[in-house]
Structure 1
Amino acid sequence: MANQSYKDQLNQSSDGQSQLQDRTTRYQNYINGQWLESSAGQYGQNRSPHNGELLGEFPASTAEDAKESIKAAKEAFPQWKKTSIQQRAVYLSKAAEILKSRAHEIGRDLSSEEGKTIAEGIGETMRAASILEFYAGEARQAVGQVIPSVNASTMIYTKRIPLGPVGLITSWNFPIAIPTWKMAPALIYGNTVVIKPADLTPKSVYHLVNALHEAGLPKGVVNCVFGRGSIIGPELLQSPDIKAISFTGSNQVGETIKEQAIKTGKKVQLEMGGKNPLVVLKDADIEKAVYIAIKGAFISTGQKCTATSRIIVEEDVYEMFRDRLIERTKSLKLGNPLDAGTFMGPCVSKSQQDTVLTMVEEGRKEATLLYGGTVPEQEELAKGFYVQPAIFEITSQDARIAREEIFGPVVTLLKVTDYNEAVKAANDTLFGLSASVCTNNLSLAQQFVDDIEAGMVHINSETSGAEPQVPFGGVKSSSDGPREQGKTAVEFYTQVKTIYMDQL
Structure 2
Amino acid sequence: MLEVRDPADVRSVVAEVPAMTAAEVAAAYDRARTAFEGWRRANPLDRAAVLARAADLIRARAEDGAVILVRENGKTLAEARVEVTKTADFLDYYASFARQPWGELLSDARPGTSTSVRVEPVGVVLAICPWNDPLITPARKLGPALIAGNTVVLKAASQTPGIALWAAGLLLEAGLPEGVLQVITGRSSEISDALLASPDAVTFTGSNEVGALLRRTLASRSVRLQAELGGKNVSVVLKDADLDMAAATLVSAAFAQAGQRCTATSRLIVDASVAAALVSRLRDAIAGIVVGPGLDPATTMGPLSYAAHRDGVLEHIERARKEGAAVIAGGGRPSAAALAHGCYVEPTLISVTPEQSLWRDEVFGPVLAVTTATGFDDAVRLANDTAYGLSAAVFTTSLTSANKFIEVAEAGQVAVNLPTAGWDVHHPFGGFRESGSAFKEQGAPGLRFYTRIKTAAVRFAW
The TM-score range, normalised by the shorter chain, is: over 0.9
Contact 1:268 1:481 in 2 (8 A): no
1:84 counterpart = 2:35 = no
1:109 counterpart = 2:87 = no
Q: Compute the displacement of 1:111 (Å).
A: 1.1
1:387 counterpart = 2:336 = no
Alignment of 1:150-165 (within 5 A): 150-151=109-110, 153-165=112-124
C-alpha distance in structure 2 between counterparts of 1:487 and 1:189, whole Å: 12
Tell me the secondary structure at the aligned position of residue 362 of structure 2. Answer: coil
C-alpha distance in structure 2 between counterparts of 1:156 and 1:410, whole Å: 56
1:434-455 CA-to-partner distances (Å, cap 9, x unmatched) read 0001111011101100000000
Counterpart pick for 2:313 among 332, 344, 356: 356
C-alpha distance in structure 2 between counterparts of 1:440 and 1:422, whole Å: 16
Counterpart pick for 1:374 among 332, 339, 364: 332
> Which moved further from structure 2: 303-312 or 480-489?
480-489
1:168-216 CA-to-partner distances (Å, cap 9, x unmatched) read 1100010100011111111100101111100001111011101111112
Alignment of 1:198-217 (within 5 A): 198-217=157-176
Counterpart pick for 2:275 among 311, 318, 342: 318
Q: Which residue of 1 aligns with 2:436?
A: 479
Q: Compute the displacement of 1:152 (Å).
A: 5.3
1:257 counterpart = 2:199 = no
Query: Gaps spanning 5+ residues in structure 2: where?
Result: none
1:133-153 CA-to-partner distances (Å, cap 9, x unmatched) read 001111111121222223453
Query: Gaps spanning 5+ residues in structure 1: where?
Result: 1-42
1:42-72 CA-to-partner distances (Å, cap 9, x unmatched) read x111111001221110111100110010000
C-alpha distance in structure 2 between counterparts of 1:171 and 1:401, whole Å: 23
1:347 counterpart = 2:296 = no
1:195 counterpart = 2:149 = no
Contact 1:238 1:261 in 2 (8 A): no
Higher relative CO (Cα under 8 Å, sequence separation at least 6) belongs to 2
C-alpha distance in structure 1 between counterparts of 2:361 and 2:85, whole Å: 32
Tell me the secondary structure at the aligned position of residue 328 of structure 2. Answer: strand
Contact 1:275 1:433 in 2 (8 A): yes
Q: Which residue of 2 aligns with 1:297?
A: 254
Amino acid at match of 1:44: L
Q: CA 1:434–1:201 in structure 2 vs 1: closer, same or farther (change >3 Å)?
A: same
1:432 counterpart = 2:389 = yes
Q: Which residue of 1 aligns with 2:400?
A: 443
Under a length normalisation based on structure 1, what TM-score does the superposition of the two structures give? 0.90
C-alpha distance in structure 2 between counterparts of 1:490 and 1:337, whole Å: 34
Q: Compute the displacement of 1:113 (Å).
A: 0.8
Q: Compute the displacement of 1:373 (Å).
A: 1.3
C-alpha distance in structure 2 between counterparts of 1:280 and 1:147, whole Å: 49
Tell me the secondary structure at the aligned position of residue 392 of structure 1. Answer: strand
Q: Which residue of 2 aligns with 1:12?
A: none
Amino acid at match of 1:64: A
Under a length normalisation based on structure 2, what TM-score does the superposition of the two structures give? 0.98
Amino acid at match of 1:393: S
Amino acid at match of 1:140: R
1:495 counterpart = 2:455 = no
Counterpart pick for 2:417 among 437, 446, 460: 460
Contact 1:196 1:232 in 2 (8 A): no
Tell me the secondary structure at the aligned position of residue 226 of structure 2. Answer: strand
C-alpha distance in structure 1 between counterparts of 2:439 and 2:106, whole Å: 23
Tell me the secondary structure at the aligned position of residue 488 of structure 1. Answer: helix
Q: Which aligned runs of 4 or more in structure 1 are off by greater than 6 angstroms?
A: none
1:47 counterpart = 2:5 = yes
C-alpha distance in structure 1 between counterparts of 2:446 and 2:193, whole Å: 25
1:320-367 CA-to-partner distances (Å, cap 9, x unmatched) read 001111111112100111112211000101101000000000110221
C-alpha distance in structure 1 between counterparts of 2:342 and 2:161, whole Å: 19
Tell me the secondary structure at the aligned position of residue 269 of structure 2. Answer: strand
CA RMSD, 1 decimal? 1.0
C-alpha distance in structure 2 between counterparts of 1:80 and 1:101, whole Å: 26
Counterpart pick for 1:129 among 64, 67, 88: 88
Q: Which residue of 2 aligns with 1:13?
A: none
